Amino acid sequence: MTSQPGGIRIENLRKVYGHGDTAVEALKNVNMQVAPGEVVGLVGPSGSGKSTLLKCLGAIIEPTSGRMTLGDEVIYDNGWKIPDLRTLRRDRIGFVFQAPYLIPFLDVTDNVALLPMLAGVPNAQARQRALELLTSLDVAHRAKAEPAQLSGGEQQRVSIARALANRPPVILADEPTAPLDSERALAVVKILNDMALKAQTAIIVVTHDEKIIPTFQRVYHIRDGQTVEEKGEGRSLGR
């Protein structure tokens, strides 16, 4: 594997749940590399290890062995290499889920500004950054609205703005287009591509969505806990 600085690198990652007779080897040998500014797909049948992989990379569960590098820092090498996993999750990894999970009693701006505020950015500056992101995602006209007043597509764009708010080098998206129709799903992928390039973010999109799989330049297939890389067509997005 070439050593390219930045982005995400996963080498020989293994994850075993449980012990002895009931042990499940969810990840056997996973290898991935995503450069800054790149969006890759991760596809595989149910039970193949997609969620386990995202949880390891998101520092939500601990792998059993292997190595993970984020930016230029080795975060895991047969054990966590950084002391503060909560700060890592908050500041360096953005999550986008199938459901937007916006906070209902905060307006759109504060939903996006909350994470930077928690990271210590002064409120006015956090809201300014939130507005800039909402503008680039074409939802600034909804800045003062409550999440319930937004359409599904608008809510998902707000959740992408939130994932970008702390300028993480990595975004992990788990089925981000599942509830959206074709046109909106493709619009969300286009946004992820644009934002990846603009902010030099490395993005992994877990998906079953046949509408968007052909748009990725590279797709990792995962089966029985092992990854195989395939060059995609990268069509429909003009890249």
Site string for ligand ADP, 121-150 (x = CB under 6 A): ------------------------------
Phi-psi sector, 78: left (phi>0), alpha (psi -120 to 50), beta: left
What, of Mg ion, ligand ADP, none, does residue 228 touch, CB below 5 to 8 Å by kind? none
CA angle centred on 104, ends 207 and 129, rounded to 5°:
75
Minimum distance from residue 234 beta carbon to Mg ion (Å): 25
Q: Is 51 in the site for Mg ion (CB under 5 A)?
A: yes
Site string for ligand ADP, 26-55 (x = CB under 6 A): x-----------------x-xxxxxxx---
Considering all CA atoms of the chain, what is the largest pairwise distance in Å, rounded to the nearest integer?
56
Q: Is 12 in the site for Mg ion (CB under 5 A)?
A: no
User: Whose structure tokens read 């928690």?
Assistant: 118
- Which letter does DSSP use for residue 80 in this model? B
CA distances in angstroms from 70 to 10, 64, 128, 145, listed in the order given? 9, 18, 27, 35
What, of Mg ion, ligand ADP, none, does residue 17 touch, CB below 5 to 8 Å by kind? ligand ADP
CA angle centred on 93, ends 136 and 118, rounded to 5°:
80
# binding residues, ligand ADP (CB under 6 A): 12
Which residues make up the interface to Mg ion (CB under 5 A)? 50-51
Q: Which residues bind ligand ADP (CB under 6 A)?
A: 17-18, 24, 26, 44, 46-52
